[in-house]
Amino acid sequence: MKFSISLGNAENASADGLVFFAFEGDPQKFVVLDRKTGGLVAQAFKKKEFSGKKDETLFLRTPFSKILLVGLGKKAAFDCDKMRNSCANAFSALKTLDCKTIAFSCPDNTPVQEFGRVCAEACVLGDYAFEKYKTPDKDEKKKIVDGVSIFVPSDAVGAKKVVDEAALICACANYGRDLDNEPANKATPTFLAEQAKLLAKTHKLKARVLEKKELQKLGLNAFLSVSAGSVQPPKLIILEWNPANASDTIIVVGKGITFDSGGISLKQSHDLDKMKFDKSGACAVLGIMKAASELRLPLHVVGVIAATENLPSGSASKPGDLVKAYSGKTIEILNTDAEGRLALADAIAYAEKQYRPSAIIDVATLTGACIIALGDVASGLLSNNDELAERLKNAGDYSGERVWRLPLWEEYAEKIKSDFADLKNTGDGTAGTITASMFLKNFVGENTPWAHIDIAGTAWVTKQKGPYNLGATGVGVRLVTHALKKWRRLSKIVAKTTG
């Protein structure tokens, strides 16, 4: 899909489909369009067929093109998230009508670059569908949008730069979605390792994969305990983007449980097929590394993925087992379905020791408790560093991948103290997202800025939502990439666990 930016309005665009936005009760901007449609627009307002209310649409078929009027609601309630969703809905509607080219007209008094960005995001994310394993219908013609024109009143050059960058980052998110949507019988830990090596080969990244024997030798026993029940060998995958002008070293860690049955603490069968998405954090890390390379970020970015299956068998870890993690801390495994934190604990500790980073960010579908707390609207954010947390919050607001910060107060640490080891991998059933994060905090250096992003509720959708179709959302790619794009050295370390 190609994007072009033009000055002016879209009334005279040669596209198959034209999209115009209106705030509630604001018909006057359509004077030229009304004249061109023979008064249809004014008539629609007069008959109250369209008034510009939020999510209201009116379709007009004319001899020269298909026209879609989209309501944005009241001006005072306008924000980029609503604009992105409106653009996505319009794109989807016109694509369904087999429009090969679509033109969007910037609403009045709307920041040009912001409109261009969210419009590009909506189109690239909304154009995605995972149909790799579907047999094509020979009689059905595939509907493809070849080009999108964005009409703005000014600053076409600035808008073009922003649009191109947004499209690139969203393409990296779609790359992650492709991997995340792969079923567990295809996307094994070995598959993820192969994809990482392929990405490294095509994007000037350095790739290294630690195999089971090396993991055993190094003592990543918490991670290995998760893989004990599977015939698929675990992989610790490491990717590096390290340009000559790199300043800080940032580690991004992803949970890569390619299928999570819960292990001996077996999950219920309802929606168990969705547990192929327990690798969403890992796929986000691959998308972030692709973006870091393509944007040529002036940072040393290290992507670390703990990839394994979590299955029950005669060799699987059992509730009550004790393991010694890479850091030297001992862990009592009370619930084998609290496995992601075990894998991440060793991945974080190993990566920190090897690279001594300026900051660590981990992305994981870690807790069902986060879904209960925040639903599918926001990801959970927990951090030992206020400045890092604020940057991620701002990046989330900017990208639309919003986060909500939860506290890491010391009182919560009491809930994961074990009678038989240093820690236990689950608490008392309350504050599950926080106690899981408190567990991870034990494996981060005291003076290392760290943030955990729990994407359990945002990693996939079961029906269309905004720019996302069925399946993986690629959440985390745009959020973390925008944070890295604006990266500057953290001015201070906030050692206390605030929130």
Look at residue 432 in the predicted model and tell me its pLDDT: 98
pLDDT > 70? residue 494: no
Q: CB 353: neighbour CB atoms within 10 A?
A: 11
Q: Residue 466: what pLDDT?
A: 92
What pLDDT, in 10s, does the model give residues 28-41?
A: 567 778 888 888 88
For the chain, what percent of residues have pLDDT higher than 70?
98
Task: Determine the average pLDDT of the residues in 277-301.
Answer: 98
Tell me what the mean pLDDT of segment 345-352 comes to.
Answer: 98
User: How far apart, in Å, are the Cα atoms of 394 and each of 287, 350, 377, 479?
Assistant: 20, 29, 16, 9
N- to C-terminal Cα separation, the chain? 42
Confidence of residue 189 (pLDDT cuts 50, 70, 90): very high
**pLDDT value of position 95:** 96
Spatial separation of the C-alpha atoms in residues 489 and 388, rounded to whole Å: 10
In one-letter notation, the amino acid at residue 293 is S
Domain ranges of the chain: 2-155, 169-485
The C-alpha angle with vertex 275 and arms to 274 and 280, in degrees rounded to 5, equals 95
Q: Could you tell me which residues are beta bridge partners of residue 468?
A: 465
Going across the sheet that includes 147-152, the strands are 2-7, 147-152, 101-105, 17-22, 66-71, 57-61
For residue range 53-98, list pLDDT tens digits in order. 888 999 988 878 899 999 998 888 788 999 999 999 999 999 999 9
Pairing of strands 249-260, 235-241: unpaired
Tell me what pLDDT residue 366 has. 98
Both structure tokens of 89: 């809905």
Mean pLDDT score across all residues of the chain: 94
Yes or no: say if 113 and 162 are a contact pair by the CB < 8 Å rule. Answer: yes
Residue 459 in 3-state DSSP? Answer: coil
Region 458-467: mean pLDDT is 95
pLDDT of residue 6: 94
Q: What is the DSSP letter of 495?
A: -
pLDDT number for residue 74: 87
Residue type, 150: I
309: CB partners within 8 A, 6+ apart: 184, 188, 189, 227, 229, 230, 232, 257, 258, 259, 260, 261
Q: Assess whether the region 2-155 and the region 169-485 belong to the same CATH fold.
A: no
Q: What is the pLDDT of residues 359-412, one digit of tens each?
A: 999 999 999 999 999 999 999 999 999 999 999 999 999 999 999 999 999 999
pLDDT at 249 over 90: yes
Q: Is the pLDDT of residue 354 over 60?
A: yes
Is 70 exceeded by the pLDDT of residue 27? no
Q: Is the model's pLDDT at 23 over the cut of 60?
A: yes
Where residue 476 falls among pLDDT bands split at 50, 70, 90?
A: very high
pLDDT at 232: 98
The C-alpha atoms of residue 421 and residue 411 are separated, in whole angstroms, by 19
pLDDT tens per residue, range 418-459: 999 999 999 999 999 999 999 999 999 999 999 999 999 999
The CATH number given to 169-485 is 3.40.630.10
CATH code that applies to domain 2-155 = 3.40.220.10
Q: What amino acid positions are annotated as catalytic residues?
A: 267, 341
pLDDT at residue 34 in the model: 83
* Distance, C-alpha 482 to centroid of its chain: 11
Q: For residue 468, how many other CB atoms are within 10 A of its CB?
A: 21
Whole-Å CA distances, 343 to 208, 212, 233, 326, 458: 18, 13, 14, 11, 21
Q: By the 8 A CB rule, do 26 and 37 touch?
A: no
**According to the model, what pLDDT value does residue 32 have?**
78
